[in-house]
Amino acid sequence: MKLLVTIVQDQDVPALIEALMENGFRATKLASTGGFLRAGNTTLLIGVEDERVDALLDLIRQTCKGSERGTPAVHVGGATIFSVSVERFERI
């Protein structure tokens, strides 16, 4: 099992959460703030079985699109994802 710590722009969060739920993924939503542009973003904690990681990453890629901001233009958005192996998981 993996825990994906997924940092997403606030504007992409509603569509991503809807897509996650439609595809049987669960997520815990945490408010966070980006350091570079100090823009609002959201961190999602998503637990996923090893065999479904690729499907989840594809879903995130389809849902979270990047954009250009500022002068000079800087690419922002998309998603930043950290994958952590989970030794034990329990739902109580």
What span, in angstroms and rounded, lies between the C-alpha atoms of 67 and 63? 13
Cis peptide before 14 (omega within 30 of 0): no
Query: Are residues 45 and 31 in contact, defined by beta-carbon separation less than 8 angstroms?
Result: no
Question: Six-digit token pair at 59?
Answer: 């879903």
Condensed to tens digits (0 to 9), the pLDDT of residues 39-64 reads: 678 999 999 999 999 999 999 999 99
- More reliable by pLDDT, 72 or 46: 46
Which residues face 38 on adjacent strands? none
Helices and strands of the chain, counted as H and E runs? 2, 6
Q: Where are the beta strands (DSSP E) in 1-92?
A: 2-9, 28-33, 40-48, 66-69, 74-77, 79-85
What is the distance between the alpha carbons of residues 14 and 29, in angstroms, rounded to a whole number? 11
- One CATH from 3.50.50.60, 3.10.450.50, 3.20.20.70, 3.30.70.120 for 2-85: 3.30.70.120
User: How confident is residue 18, by pLDDT bands cut at 50, 70 and 90?
Assistant: very high
For the entire predicted model, the pTM comes to 0.83
Using 50, 70 and 90 to split pLDDT, how confident is the model at 68? Answer: low
